[in-house]
């Protein structure tokens, strides 16, 4: 059987926090608590949820920046948590990252050309004149003229800085780019330009994206499939049209109710999402969403619903189905 490029199985990441008081055991923040999904070559999976749902932690785990508490992350058949430092360094050529804040992720003392060229040197892809030529090609690829290589990050606009961050990620020819809120800090018009650019680059180069965002409009625009996360777990996972035209999980429906009409086919939930996400140190028992769910049944606070197929690969974790 053909395996997906990326396979995440029952992934967990618990962060210890200090207990308050003498001899009190340390508590655990269950940032990611049993997440499974796959991602195919050239595909875009949108990972969406409110702040603190664990979506960025999933991205950091895939990049090997932190180790999981439990679970497996198979990339091209190899389990990332089982790799040593050297193997992770080599794997970084295949999995790159684009951050939310390009200003924070670009060294302010380096010129744009050196930032892009550094990746080529680190991975021994090109040096000298070959490197200079490749840097100019990469800048052109992301829609910047060669003269931009002499500019420092503070001499660039937010959109231009994010184009440099994308060029840096593409420099090593990755198969997967983890995009963590890559357009959240940009103006809406610039957001659209950067997303269009990312889609165009994917069509030309074939890299997959794990696109992490809290913004449903952005997720809808770019994703092939969408995974909705709530308090460390995936509650709905389906094709983009299934999630946006026929959302099943009450959390997804409530999130969609809070944004302007995204689909003429979508019958909106009357009650949009209210209240805060509960504390991940002590998440509610049963269905974690039951404290905010207007459809909650008695069973919901007792039994955790499993992610099951509603048909056509539309996965949902809810006792209503
Ligand atoms: Fe709501 Fe129950 Fe479904 Fe959870 S399982 S989303 S509480 S109806």
User: What is the per-residue pLDDT for 103?
Assistant: 67
Q: What does DSSP assign to residue 299?
A: G
Average pLDDT for 214-228: 94
Average pLDDT for 103-116: 87
Q: What is the whole-number distance in angstroms between the Cα of residue 261 and the centre of ligand 1?
A: 24
* Confidence tier at 44 by pLDDT (50, 70, 90): very high
* Whether the predicted pLDDT of 261 surpasses 60: no
* Whether the predicted pLDDT of 319 surpasses 90: yes
Domain boundary assignment for the chain: 6-94+174-316
User: What is the per-residue pLDDT for 265?
Assistant: 59
- Furthest C-alpha separation in the chain: 69
Average pLDDT for 213-231: 94
Report d(CA 36, CA 109) in Å as an integer: 40
- 119-128, 142-151, 218-227: least confidently modelled range: 119-128
Residue with the smallest CA separation from ligand 1 atom 3 is 318
CATH number of the 6-94+174-316 domain: 3.40.50.300
Residue with the smallest CA separation from ligand 1 atom 8 is 296
Residue burial 14-49, b: 16+ Cβ < 10 Å; e: rest: beeeeeeeeeeeebbbbbbbbbbbbbeebbbbbbbb
Q: What is the CA radius of gyration of the chain?
A: 21
Q: What is the whole-number distance in angstroms between the Cα of residue 56 and the centre of ligand 1?
A: 24
C-alpha closest to that of 182 among 46, 1, 30: 46
Q: What is the whole-number distance in angstroms between the Cα of residue 231 and the centre of ligand 1?
A: 14
- Ligand 1 nearest-atom number relative to CA 294: 1
Looking at beta carbons, which pairs linking 217-223 to residues 24 or more positions away fall under 8 Å?
A: 217/259, 217/262, 218/183, 218/191, 219/46, 219/48, 220/46, 220/244, 220/262, 221/192, 221/195, 222/44, 222/46, 222/195, 222/198, 223/44, 223/45, 223/46
User: What is the per-residue pLDDT for 74?
Assistant: 95
Residues with CB under 6 A from ligand 1: 249-250, 287, 289-290, 293, 295-297, 300, 305, 318-320
* Whether the predicted pLDDT of 41 surpasses 90: yes
- Ligand 1 nearest-atom number relative to CA 290: 7
Average pLDDT for 189-216: 93
Q: What is the whole-number distance in angstroms between the Cα of residue 262 and the centre of ligand 1?
A: 23
Average pLDDT for 207-213: 96
* Whether the predicted pLDDT of 86 surpasses 70: yes
User: What is the per-residue pLDDT for 122?
Assistant: 87
Q: What is the whole-number distance in angstroms between the Cα of residue 25 and the centre of ligand 1?
A: 31
Mutate to test the pocket of ligand 1, among 269, 289, 306, 316 (most ligand atoms within 8 A of CB): 289
At a CB cut-off of 8 Å and minimum separation 6, what does 42 contact?
202, 206, 207, 208
Mutate to test the pocket of ligand 1, among 305, 315, 321 (most ligand atoms within 8 A of CB): 305
Residue with the smallest CA separation from ligand 1 atom 7 is 290
Q: What is the whole-number distance in angstroms between the Cα of residue 103 and the centre of ligand 1?
A: 40
Question: What is the average pLDDT value for the chain, to the nearest integer?
Answer: 89
C-alpha closest to that of 79 among 148, 157, 126, 10: 10
Token code pair at residue 134: 């490749």
Global model pTM greater than 0.85: yes
pLDDT digits (tens, 9 = 90+) for 1-20: 668 999 999 999 999 887 65
User: What is the per-residue pLDDT for 104?
Assistant: 73
Average pLDDT for 231-258: 94
* Whether the predicted pLDDT of 270 surpasses 80: no
Average pLDDT for 226-254: 96
């Amino acid at each position: 059987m053909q395996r997906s490029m990326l396979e995440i199985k029952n992934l967990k990441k618990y962060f210890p926090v200090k207990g308050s008081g003498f001899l009190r055991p340390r508590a655990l923040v269950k940032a990611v608590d049993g997440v499974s999904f796959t991602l195919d070559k050239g595909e875009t999976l949108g990972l969406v949820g409110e702040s603190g749902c664990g979506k960025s932690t999933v991205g950091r785990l895939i990049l090997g920046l932190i180790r999981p508490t439990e679970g497996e992350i198979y990339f091209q058949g190899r389990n990332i948590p089982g790799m040593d430092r050297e193997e992770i360094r080599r794997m970084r050529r295949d999995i790159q990252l684009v951050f939310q804040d390009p200003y924070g992720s670009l060294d302010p003392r380096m010129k744009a050309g050196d930032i892009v060229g550094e990746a080529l040197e680190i991975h021994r892809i090109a040096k000298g004149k070959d490197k200079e030529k490749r840097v100019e090609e990469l800048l052109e690829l992301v829609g910047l003229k060669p003269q931009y290589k002499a500019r420092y990050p503070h001499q660039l606009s937010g959109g231009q800085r994010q184009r440099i961050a994308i060029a840096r990620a593409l420099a090593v020819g990755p198969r997967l780019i983890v995009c963590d809120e890559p357009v959240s800090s940009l103006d809406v018009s610039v957001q659209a330009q950067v997303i269009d650019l990312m889609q165009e680059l994917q069509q030309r180069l074939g890299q997959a994206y794990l696109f992490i965002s809290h913004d449903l409009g952005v997720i809808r625009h770019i994703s092939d499939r969408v995974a909705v996360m709530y308090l460390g777990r995936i509650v709905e996972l389906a094709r983009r049209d299934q999630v946006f035209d026929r959302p099943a999980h009450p959390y997804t429906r409530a999130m969609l109710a809070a944004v302007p009409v995204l689909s003429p086919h979508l019958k909106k939930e009357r009650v949009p999402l209210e209240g805060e996400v509960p504390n991940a140190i002590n998440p509610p028992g049963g269905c974690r969403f039951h404290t905010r769910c207007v459809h909650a049944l008695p069973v919901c606070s007792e039994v955790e619903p499993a992610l099951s197929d509603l048909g056509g690969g539309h996965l949902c974790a809810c006792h209503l189905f």
